[in-house]
Chain A
Amino acid sequence: MHFSEDDLRAALKRKDPGEGFTQRVMARVNQADAKNKTSPATEKSRWLWLRRWNLRPAWTFAVVAVLFLSFAWAGYEYSEYRHQKIARENQQRLEQAEEARDQAILALRIARNKLNHVLQHAQLPADAIPSENDKIRRQRL
């Protein structure tokens, strides 16, 4: 089925909203006026900017996108901070463990030296006692 642009114009010709439309609009205006108690020229509602957003989904989308990116960035930064903190703590623990190991090794070395020293002193009298061979040598002489 074919149609011309004139058919479309005819299908979309302006329609009258009917009698009393202006009165109904004015009634709503007066109702809103009474509610707000402000004149149209001076009204600077605090939330007017928010209502205007209703007409601009693109702005709403932009704000949501900015908020989302901000949260994502904040989340990433916090995650990085946590990783760095954990790495720092692990590093500290490792350094403490190495220091403790060095101290333990030093303590063991000191203990070994002391033990050797004591052992040497403890063995001296035993060396001074003549052995069986010495006795035989003296008898022959």
Chain B
Amino acid sequence: MEQRAGREEDRLELALTRSVQGDSIAFAELVREHQGMVFSIAYHFLQDRALAEDLAQEVFLELYQSLDRIQSPAHLTYWLRRVTANRCIDQGRRKLRRRELALEEAPEPTATGHPADPLLLERLQQSLAGLPAKQRMVVILRFQEGLGPAEIAEALEMPVNTVKSTLHRSLEDLRKSLTRKVREVRYAFF
């Protein structure tokens, strides 16, 4: 298992070195390796596939122009997370009002308490979209990327304690938002 991880690391190291030397095939390998992470962060944050793809492409374009500053595969992952998170927050600020209106207009799915229900997941995603930008990004980095508070703090340039309190507040807000939506649906029925 460790040998496999080591080989993977070596492969990425080689791809990175070749990319810096101008090898576009090696750079394409780096893109393939990290596109899921970058696109998913953008998609979960913006809740818009086209915007997320555009943002992810811009992040990789910026990576291509900054390759000489990347020191290792681990640094590459960290750099991509940080740049994607910051770009998402910037983009989110610009689109905030429009997105909120779109959410208000979105049809409400029916209520259900079953934890494995895909509608609950959809509801969670909708509630997540209603959180403020920083809170949303902290939740995405925590639960999509599985980062710890220290790593999130480093990526978002925030104090660790602030990350912890933001995460706690975000989960509370998500719970409240979900409860409110269920009540609204009940009132609509009765």
Chain A residues close to B by CB (< 8 Å): 1-18, 21-22, 24-26, 28-30, 32, 39-43, 45, 48, 51, 54-58
A7 and B124 in contact, given A32-B61, A40-B20, A48-B65 (Cβ under 8 angstroms): yes
- Across the interface, B35 reaches (CB within 8 A) one of A3, A17, A29, namely A17
Q: Which residues of A contact B32 (CB under 8 A)?
A: 22
Greatest chain B CB density within 10 A among A8, A11, A16, A57 is at A11
Within 8 A of A (CB), among B25-79: 27-28, 31-32, 35-37, 39-40, 43-44, 52-53, 56-57, 60-62, 64-68
Indicate whether B174 reaches chain A with its CB closer than 8 angstroms. yes
Within 8 A of A (CB), among B141-181: 143-144, 157, 174-175, 178-179, 181
Indicate whether B96 reaches chain A with its CB closer than 8 angstroms. no
- Across the interface, A55 reaches (CB within 8 A) one of B65, B87, B182, namely B87
Q: A17, B39: Cβ atoms under 8 Å?
A: yes
Q: A40, B68: Cβ atoms under 8 Å?
A: yes
Q: A12, B53: Cβ atoms under 8 Å?
A: no
Q: Which residues of A contact B64 (CB under 8 A)?
A: 29, 32, 40
Q: Which residue of B lies closest to A6 (CB)?
A: B115
Determine the distance from Cα of A42 to Cα of B21 in the docked complex, in whole angstroms.
9
Q: Is the interface of B mostly helix, strand, loop or mixed?
A: helix
Q: A41, B20: Cβ atoms under 8 Å?
A: yes
- Across the interface, B143 reaches (CB within 8 A) one of A12, A55, A56, namely A12
Q: A8, B139: Cβ atoms under 8 Å?
A: yes
Q: What distance in Å separates the Cβ of B190 from its nearest Cβ neighbour in chain A?
A: 17
Q: A22, B28: Cβ atoms under 8 Å?
A: yes
Q: A21, B35: Cβ atoms under 8 Å?
A: yes
- Across the interface, B86 reaches (CB within 8 A) one of A5, A15, A45, A56, namely A56
Q: What distance in Å separates the Cβ of A120 from its nearest Cβ neighbour in chain B?
A: 98
A11 and B22 in contact, given A3-B174, A48-B65, A56-B86 (Cβ under 8 angstroms): no
Q: A15, B125: Cβ atoms under 8 Å?
A: no
Q: A1, B36: Cβ atoms under 8 Å?
A: no
Indicate whether B103 reaches chain A with its CB closer than 8 angstroms. no
Determine the distance from Cα of A6 to Cα of B56 in the docked complex, in whole angstroms.
26
Determine the distance from Cα of A39 to Cα of B111 in the docked complex, in whole angstroms.
54
Q: A41, B22: Cβ atoms under 8 Å?
A: yes
Within 8 A of A (CB), among B123-151: 123-125, 128, 139-140, 143-144
- Across the interface, A9 reaches (CB within 8 A) one of B43, B113, B143, namely B143
Q: What distance in Å separates the Cβ of B13 from its nearest Cβ neighbour in chain A?
A: 16
Q: What distance in Å separates the Cβ of A40 from its nearest Cβ neighbour in chain B?
A: 5
A7 and B121 in contact, given A15-B40, A25-B61 (Cβ under 8 angstroms): yes
